[in-house]
A and B are shown apart, each in its own frame.
Chain A
Amino acid sequence: MFVIKLSGAKILLKCLKDEGVDTIFGYPGGAVIDIYDELDRTDIRHILARHEQGAVHAADGYARASGGVGVCLVTSGPGATNTVTGIASAYLDSIPIVVFTGQVPTPLIGNDAFQEVDIVGITRPCTKHNYLVTHVEDMARIIKEAFHIARSGRPGPVLVDLPKDVMSMITDYKPVKELKLRSYQPTYKPNIKQLQKVVQMIRSSEKPLIMIGGGVVLSKSATELTGFAKSIQAPVTSTLMGLGAFPASHPLWLGMIGMHGTYRANMSSGSCDLLLAIGVRFDDRVTGKIDEFAPHAKIVHVDIDPTSIRKNVPVAVPVVGDCKVTLELLNALLKKEDLGDINKRHKPWLDRIREWKDTMPLAYKQKDIIKPQYVIEKLYELTKGNAIITTEVGQNQMWAAQYYHFDRPNSFITSGGLGCMGFGLPAAIGAQIAQPDKIVVDIAGDGSIQMNIQEMATAVQYNLPINIVILNNRYLGMVRQWQELFYDKHYSCTGMEYAPDFMKIADAYGASGLRATRPEEVESVLKEGLSSSKTTIMEFLVEQEEKVYPMVAAGDALTKMLLV
């Protein structure tokens, strides 16, 4: 075979090309200077973040908006430690990213050398897998494994630590054709006997409920899911992470379930006799009091990760498999069933749900101060539901989830599991780079936006027409809401009156700034901002003490909701 001699850095870039990587989010430094030297000679696009946390969230947003793998490159020591929050967020949301960190030269490892940290040790519990490359001959294999592990099975972040000397070492480069991961074999195809049981249960159920999660988005099975729900005429609810995988405009849609779920979705979980849980992991924010979650239901749980099943809730029929493959097989099995009969049986249940919907819809009253919900509804109207929405964390995130009605997968990008403030802006950057023709909006709070505000510079540098909608309530609103409801209005340290002037911030970064202080200005500000081709901050001075409703207090049953 034809063999060429290449440096570690050159092999890295060659392998990235082979993986189809065309964009890297990163930040340079001493330990990765050899890689940057080579990177600049390739056609891979490098997006210079302004903080390594921003680079990782951007890679995360890129992965979600593109359906591919996000890639990140940072230096050793502080560069590496700055990635940890972003990695943890991607880990909890099962997002495929590969993070390359520089490391001190191998002879110095363990000596507390300048900018040395044991990043492999630090990230072991928050990566799907990680590697320290100690021999240049291992480079090509490790990179191939890293991408494979990140994107297959239940996806997740993989970190590869690259000592500086390994990057300049020369070796014979042989492309790696085959993976030899002898024990890593995710189960895509579920056991058909289990699926026959599921069909049997659907046939005998009167009150089925489909509950979907991020797994449906990740496995790209929105179409199969819609077909499934339609054919059995079962209502669909979703966790925060699954929003968009089932069209919110569909009559079977119930809205989100959980702590801030809709009345009808939470009530349905309390009454259903069959819960078809697909690609979810039963987070405590979703189940509420675990002993009283879906108390009358037999639970079918479909997930590609066996550890998700029976971790938090007892399950009648576990199905280990990819959501897409599973739904395809289920749909095929259902073709042989008398669907008319099944649908007839489910009809009274759907009527009951419609009653819940009509008595307790999501609602607010727009009076003389701007309501944050109103801003999001207007945003939904003006973008016709076609925007990619990223969010920060807090009330802004929940209102976005409730009032922007997602019809397509990968159009809602949020830090669900980690709930990481500062996620939205860099994630919007990644999303806009993946989808240059889409409208991308970061729905932000006045607190969260300050956590990665430096990424404004990145957005402006690359001419990204990102829209940043700041719902400015002058509070760390979600924490304040808890203090109001459960701590006698003792607003300890949640005031945000010392925020910067966001219009000046926009100006200083070379972006546009628009502000609405009265309800009648909301629409015009949104229109102007959305039509601008510049990075734009749209600030809305909203009702300060508005609360997110419904709300289930932490530890209460889902059906015990606080309503407006």
Chain B
Amino acid sequence: MNEKKDEKRILSLLVDNQPGVLSRIVGLFSGRGFNIESLCVAETNDPLVSRITLVTWGDTVISEQIKKQINKLINVIKVLDYTGTSFVQREMALVRIRAKPEHRAEILRTVDIFRGRVVDVGTDFYTIEVTGDEEKINAFLNLVKPIGINEIARTGAIALAREKQ
């Protein structure tokens, strides 16, 4: 194991669903110079608990420190590290693509291959919804880039561990 190698980490945090909790976590990252690549927050089935899915990177020492620091926050109930475990991960992107008449068929075909959906159609643009892991979304974006991407909104990753077999 290379301790010094930077590695991406997917953390899933269960936290008290209270005002200010997100700011404690984000403040911890900025104050200690840790990285956040993406972050998603929403309530869980327990209305008192929110789940934050957070993608970060760093070497093993930093990652351990990040997890310990987060755990230390009073409002953090649990820190799960999905890195290297069996989990499902999804991200959604909304992509507005320039849709000249000669490109429309190709766009629709690509959307179809990626099991995306056209969610809005205008005179000049299509807005597409795609979900998948990060790689799949990047692959889709690469394919439609030459056609002309007008705007993108991405959610960042959310993840859940697979059921234990």
Binding site for B on A (CB under 8 A): 120-121, 124-125, 128-129, 132, 149, 181-184, 305-307, 310-311
The answer to whether A183 and B76 touch across the interface, beta carbons within 8 angstroms, is yes
Residues in B with CB closer than 8 Å to A311 are 65
Q: With A and B bound together, what is the CA distance between A306 and B20 in angstroms?
A: 24
Residues in A with CB closer than 8 Å to B20 are 120-121, 124, 132
Q: Give residues 22-57 of B contacting A (CB, 8 Å).
A: 23-24, 27-28, 31
Q: With A and B bound together, what is the CA distance between A306 and B68 in angstroms?
A: 7
Q: With A and B bound together, what is the CA distance between A128 and B73 in angstroms?
A: 8
Closest 9 CB pairs of A and B: A307-B68, A183-B77, A129-B74, A125-B31, A306-B68, A184-B74, A307-B69, A124-B27, A307-B72
In the complex, how many angstroms separate the beta carbon of A281 from the nearest chain B beta carbon? 13
The answer to whether B24 and A182 touch across the interface, beta carbons within 8 angstroms, is no
Residues in A with CB closer than 8 Å to B76 are 183
In the complex, how many angstroms separate the beta carbon of B137 from the nearest chain A beta carbon? 33
- Name A307's closest neighbour in chain B (CB-CB): B68
In the complex, how many angstroms separate the beta carbon of B52 from the nearest chain A beta carbon? 14
Q: With A and B bound together, what is the CA distance between A120 and B27 in angstroms?
A: 12
Quick one: which of B24, B65, B71, B74 has the most chain A CB within 10 A? B74
Q: With A and B bound together, what is the CA distance between A181 and B71 in angstroms?
A: 13
Q: With A and B bound together, what is the CA distance between A264 and B133 in angstroms?
A: 58
Interface size range of chain B in the complex: 10 to 19
Given contacts A124-B23, A124-B24, contact A310 B74 (CB under 8 A): no
In the complex, how many angstroms separate the beta carbon of A393 from the nearest chain B beta carbon? 23
- Name A306's closest neighbour in chain B (CB-CB): B68
Q: With A and B bound together, what is the CA distance between A125 and B78 in angstroms?
A: 20
Given contacts A121-B23, A124-B24, A125-B27, contact A183 B68 (CB under 8 A): no
Q: Give residues 57-90 of B contacting A (CB, 8 Å).
A: 61, 64-65, 68-69, 71-72, 74-78
Binding site for A on B (CB under 8 A): 20, 23-24, 27-28, 31, 61, 64-65, 68-69, 71-72, 74-78
- Name B66's closest neighbour in chain A (CB-CB): A307
The answer to whether B31 and A310 touch across the interface, beta carbons within 8 angstroms, is no
Report whether over half of chain B's contact residues are helix, strand or loop; otherwise say mixed: helix
Q: With A and B bound together, what is the CA distance between A306 and B77 in angstroms?
A: 16
In the complex, how many angstroms separate the beta carbon of B153 from the nearest chain A beta carbon? 28
The answer to whether A310 and B77 touch across the interface, beta carbons within 8 angstroms, is no
Quick one: which of A124, A181, A306, A307 has the most chain B CB within 10 A? A307
Residues in A with CB closer than 8 Å to B75 are 183
Given contacts A124-B23, A125-B27, A310-B61, contact A182 B77 (CB under 8 A): yes
Q: With A and B bound together, what is the CA distance between A132 and B24 in angstroms?
A: 14
Show 30 residue pairs from A and B whose CB-CB distance is below 8 angstroms, ordered by the A residue. A120-B20, A121-B20, A124-B20, A124-B23, A124-B24, A124-B27, A125-B27, A125-B28, A125-B31, A128-B74, A129-B74, A132-B20, A149-B74, A181-B74, A182-B77, A183-B75, A183-B76, A183-B77, A183-B78, A184-B74, A306-B71, A306-B72, A307-B65, A307-B68, A307-B69, A307-B72, A310-B61, A310-B64, A310-B65, A311-B65
Residues in A with CB closer than 8 Å to B78 are 183
Residues in A with CB closer than 8 Å to B65 are 307, 310-311
Given contacts A120-B20, A183-B77, contact A305 B27 (CB under 8 A): no
Residues in B with CB closer than 8 Å to A183 are 74-78
Q: With A and B bound together, what is the CA distance between A124 and B28 in angstroms?
A: 9
Q: With A and B bound together, what is the CA distance between A120 and B20 in angstroms?
A: 9
Residues in A with CB closer than 8 Å to B74 are 128-129, 149, 181, 183-184
Q: With A and B bound together, what is the CA distance between A10 and B105 in angstroms?
A: 73
In the complex, how many angstroms separate the beta carbon of A241 from the nearest chain B beta carbon? 20
Q: With A and B bound together, what is the CA distance between A240 and B13 in angstroms?
A: 37
In the complex, how many angstroms separate the beta carbon of B44 from the nearest chain A beta carbon? 14
Q: With A and B bound together, what is the CA distance between A120 and B65 in angstroms?
A: 25
Residues in B with CB closer than 8 Å to A125 are 27-28, 31
Residues in B with CB closer than 8 Å to A132 are 20
Q: With A and B bound together, what is the CA distance between A129 and B31 in angstroms?
A: 15
Quick one: which of A132, A149, A183, A184 has the most chain B CB within 10 A? A183
In the complex, how many angstroms separate the beta carbon of A52 from the nearest chain B beta carbon? 23
The answer to whether A305 and B61 touch across the interface, beta carbons within 8 angstroms, is no
In the complex, how many angstroms separate the beta carbon of B18 from the nearest chain A beta carbon? 10
Residues in A with CB closer than 8 Å to B77 are 182-183
Residues in B with CB closer than 8 Å to A120 are 20
Q: With A and B bound together, what is the CA distance between A125 and B73 in angstroms?
A: 11
